[in-house]
Amino acid sequence: LLGGGEDGPQMAALDLLIRDGGVNRAVAAGGAVLAVCAGFQLIGTQLPGADGRMVAELGLVDAWTQYDQRPRSVGEVVVRSHEHPDQVWTGFENHQGVTRIGPTMTPLGHVLRGVGNGLDDGDGWQRVEGVHHGAVFGTYLHGPVLARNPELADEVLRAAVGPLEPFIDEWADQLAQERRATLW
């Protein structure tokens, strides 16, 4: 799990993660990663540093982040899963970055409400949220994202440990449905 953080600590964490190389080795060996918010930005290929110049990132996915004059993205977000269109996931986003994913990457989902990776302003930005590539998941969904979205938790667990027997948690499913109903 790579979580979010403020700009200074985010850049310090990136430096340590690159120098250590453990996350990249783990993914190369089949490990799973869930990267949320600033963590999502760190798994890409480049990100603006404190001076505005682009800095190399972990390179686990073909994605890059930029900062511009767009308003900060804050609020509830609702996403339809790209790989499972019958599933709708929710979260709370709070980020300044606008993240593009490369043409060979799969978005985690398609934005129904909120901003996700970037604003759809006619310049080619897709109304998508996150990225899913192999066992690597990147998202701007806070929430906590896994507690709010049991189906996504199952996807991440399958990526980490392999096939799982079906587990039905009616209470968790009911809570997720109630949460989603408040956002439509």
Tell me how far apart the alpha carbons of residues 113 and 100 are, in angstroms, rounded to a whole number.
18
Start-to-end CA distance of the chain, whole Å, equals: 29
Band of residue 6 on the pLDDT scale cut at 50, 70, 90: confident
Band of residue 121 on the pLDDT scale cut at 50, 70, 90: low
pLDDT of the residue at 41: 93
Over residues 55-79, mean pLDDT: 90
* Residues labelled as active-site residues: 37, 142
pLDDT at 148 over 70: yes
Name the CA dihedral angle for 31, 161, 86, 103, rounded to a multiple of 10 degrees: 20
Tell me how far apart the alpha carbons of residues 50 and 40 are, in angstroms, rounded to a whole number.
18
Over the chain, what is the mean pLDDT? 89
One-letter-per-residue 3-state SS of 60-103: CCCEEEECCCCCCEEEEEEEEECCCCCCEEEEEEEECCEEEECC
The mean-pLDDT minimum among 1-10, 65-74, 91-100, 120-129 falls in: 120-129
In this prediction the pTM is 0.91
Tell me how far apart the alpha carbons of residues 67 and 98 are, in angstroms, rounded to a whole number.
6
Length of the chain in residues, anyone?
184
